[in-house]
Each structure stands twice: as structure tokens, then as C-alpha cells.
Amino acid sequence: MASSTDSIYVVTRSAAIKAAREAIFDLLSSPSRHHLFDGSGTVLAELEGPEKLYLNAKFRMSMRRSAISYRIWNTVVEFDEPTVIAWRHVGRHVWRFELEDISSEFGPATRVTESFEWGNVHSKFLYEVLKYPAQNGRAIEATLEKLAELASNGQL
């Protein structure tokens, strides 16, 4: 179960995942695998970019929202292996993943915190009207569930 911490312009969820943070970070830093854990249902595939992300790396994704397909470039804006990775696209909001080792009687475990930061977007009013913060909160919860499922199935 994900825990929730929201503040103005930041939507955050956390969950304990039974996997080493290095394995989780490897997945997060591999854009060709982003569709495996995406909880929004919008990420289809990587089109261009490095095999493994790094600070300032650019990667292009194929996306779909409702009936609209599009392609979008992202830039890695934070990278501290294996603890933090964040990227943004032209919309200026940031997706951030923070990984922290936690104790577990079952072996390696990691607290994964994902944040959707939308304080720098051009139209906060539009984001509110379209309910993007609430939608992204639900998508983050689904993403964390998918990460946990991948870990439990040995697919990291």
C-alpha cells in the first residue's frame, strides 16, 4: 500500500518494494523499460535515447492519452545513482523517483517515493481544471504497484 503526501504543486506517493534499490534504479534509468512500470497507461515505447539515462540525457517516448498519440522528448534533470532520478519534458513538470534502503526481514527492500512536481508549468489553472494532480496521484499509486509486482516476479 502506498503512503501519500501531497502539498501545493507536488503530488507524492511512497511504497516499500521488496528489492534492492540498485535493481529498481536500473529499471528507472532504462527508458526502453518505462512502459513496464508506467501506471498512467500513457507510455507506449522509447523511440530515441540512451540505453541508460544520465544527468542531462535526452530521451524520446511514444505516448498515448485517450485517443491522442504523440511523441515527446524528456530531459533528465536529476541523477544520483542509485538514489534519485528525475526528468521533465516541455510541459515543465518533473517526475522524480527517490530510493531509500529500508530494513526488511525478507531481504533487500527499498522505499520508493515518486513525485509529480507541477509548480513550474505554464498554466497551473489548466492543470487544476483538467484534474492532472489527482489523475497523477492515482497513476503514481498504480506505478508503485507495478514496481512491486515486477520485483515480486523477479523481473527487475
Starting at the edge strand found earlier in the chain, the sheet holding 68-80 runs 3-7, 10-17, 109-117, 94-102, 84-89, 68-80, 58-65, 43-48
Most confident of 21-35, 96-110, 119-133: 21-35
For residues 125-146, give the mean pLDDT: 95
Cα 76 to Cα 22: distance, rounded to the nearest angstrom: 18
pLDDT in tens, 8-42: 899 999 999 999 999 999 999 999 999 999 999 99
**pLDDT of the residue at 7:** 78
**pLDDT of the residue at 27:** 98
**103 — pLDDT class (breaks 50, 70, 90):** confident
pLDDT in tens, 49-92: 999 999 999 999 999 999 999 999 999 999 999 999 999 999 89
pLDDT surpasses 90 at 111: yes
**2 — pLDDT class (breaks 50, 70, 90):** low
> What residue ranges define each of the domains in the chain, with the CATH number in brackets?
3-152 (3.30.530.20)
